[in-house]
A and B are shown apart, each in its own frame.
Chain A
């Protein structure tokens, strides 16, 4: 099927099956998990923007970044617990730490990131406290604590944004597993795009210059790292066809619109908000599209049987040579 390392065509769909039934069990994860892919990325991007703003003296943007991180991580925690078959046993995740389980790794990343993001965000409330007394003391010590927590949250944020790519890829789901080189980059870019989008909507206009550059970088990471999604043979099909394919395409189109608008909207508050909304919507569409593509690929025996048959045929021809 290959010539010069290039996949020529989608292989014929002529394969044997057991009454057309899927070989695999499709993921039981509900849309909670697709939502979490978005909110987790948003939180990570928010923490990075918060830290960047903190270090470059942009207090308005810093506050938006920190609140985005806290909002994202709170939503993430809710979605993750809600998706469990036994939500009251969520803490069983904390009885082991396993590097072979991306979900275990993710649990510990979240356990580190969540409280740090929380502290950093709550420290933003310091100016609301009275000047004197015990609360006055809290008012004075909150900002340095917020600084440390904000930087620490940002240090764990890239792991939070990218481990989810491994989470999906480390499965038997054909379109997810085959996409393992791409998914962390798609999710990293998508995370930065979403958080930049929120910043463009909510932060003071004078402080958003880095966000416009960041949105451009996000698009470069997502499209540069993710272009192989469409080039992994048969298991690319769900990323380009059907409802999942339309979502992925919509994600890319919205990303392009969002970045282009961000670059020209420096003087317009309205255009900035539009670009921000497009970037956030792009991230949502991409996450749900990738999530749905995996489910599609697990449901049809074609995506399991045909690539494995090809692999066997290649092995056999290699041993014959």
Chain B
């Protein structure tokens, strides 16, 4: 008998997948307030997991030249420059001149730039119009300038600004649409509650790629299979920390038991609010959200979509019973229509 919340709602995924007496659910808490954008996580992940090179072009949109999570980038450090205060007691660059770095036109051009990541769909180009008004502020700074802020514009043209950095990764959802729709059983739930692709089973049907509400999973062009973060399943099995968390120099990426991480994250948000960072909020921590909570969740300093995350993702299979009902109704209509058509007059 499937669990009442088998498709939607709070659930402990490993026992639901059939594990008897599994270890605690493990996950990531990525605290973006201490991320310095060093990309050690991206590199460590590639090293440990043997992930292929993913293109070395400059994307022209920021210091982020990875662009997105792909089959060949299982960690992706997003980098956003915004014309607003960093939120701390002393505004950034107080007393120093700074000014607009680059025009919305350049940002729009950046949105049209892509690189061959060796994957499909890989790094899709974006909407230039959306890029041009990317941030929540009235003006967009675009790519960080090539010269010190304000040079040439003087103190009058000064604006405040801040940098947001965030290491994105597969969310290892409680209700993982990729796993639900996989027709070969290649994607499976581990005893740690994570979601892993079995590369010897995957036949590259691509269904998981359309099903993921976060745009994480992707297909390698040369071998045709789907690939994504395994939360270092091989390291977890022997009690080691995943490569990205191990390499993170600021403990922005924290690995551990999910329950404990959720407590730690709540305490961190409370502390940031206390210290005058009211925009700090958690993302993906809530077991009552549309995917039953993420195994990898985040502390963000702006709306999720600013980082390229969906603001309110819902696992598509929540509606699957309703979908099958509609299909059943349509099938019956079709059969009846045929019967009626043939029972009519002969000529």
Contacts and interface: CB of A to CB of B under 8 A. Distances in A.
Contacts of A214: 337-338, 341-342
B131 interface: yes
B124 A21 contact: yes
Contacts of A258: none
A55 B342 CA distance: 9
A103 B186 CA distance: 13
A311 B313 CA distance: 10
Interface centre among A96, A107, A170, A304 (most CB of B within 10 A): A170
* Interface residues of A, dominant DSSP: helix
B213 interface: yes
Contact of A170 (B134, B218, B320): B320
Interface string A48-71: 110111011000000000000000
A17 to B, nearest CB: 4
Contact of A84 (B111, B204, B341, B342): B204
B135 to A, nearest CB: 7
Interface stretch (A135-143, A178-186, A229-237, A249-257): A178-186
B310 A20 contact: no
B183 interface: yes
B184 interface: yes
A103 B211 CA distance: 12
A101 interface: yes
A172 B210 contact: yes
Nearest to A54: B342
A171 B180 contact: no
Interface in A255-305: 266, 294, 298-302, 304-305
Interface centre among B185, B210, B212 (most CB of A within 10 A): B210
Interface of A: 13-29, 48-49, 51-53, 55-56, 83-87, 89-90, 92-93, 95-96, 98-104, 107, 157-159, 161-163, 165-166, 169-173, 177, 180-181, 183-185, 187-188, 191-192, 206, 209-211, 213-214, 217-218, 220-221, 225, 266, 294, 298-302, 304-305, 308-309, 311-312
Of all A-B residue pairs in the complex, the 8 with the closest CB atoms, nearest first, are A85-B204, A85-B224, A20-B131, A18-B308, A20-B126, A158-B331, A89-B203, A184-B330
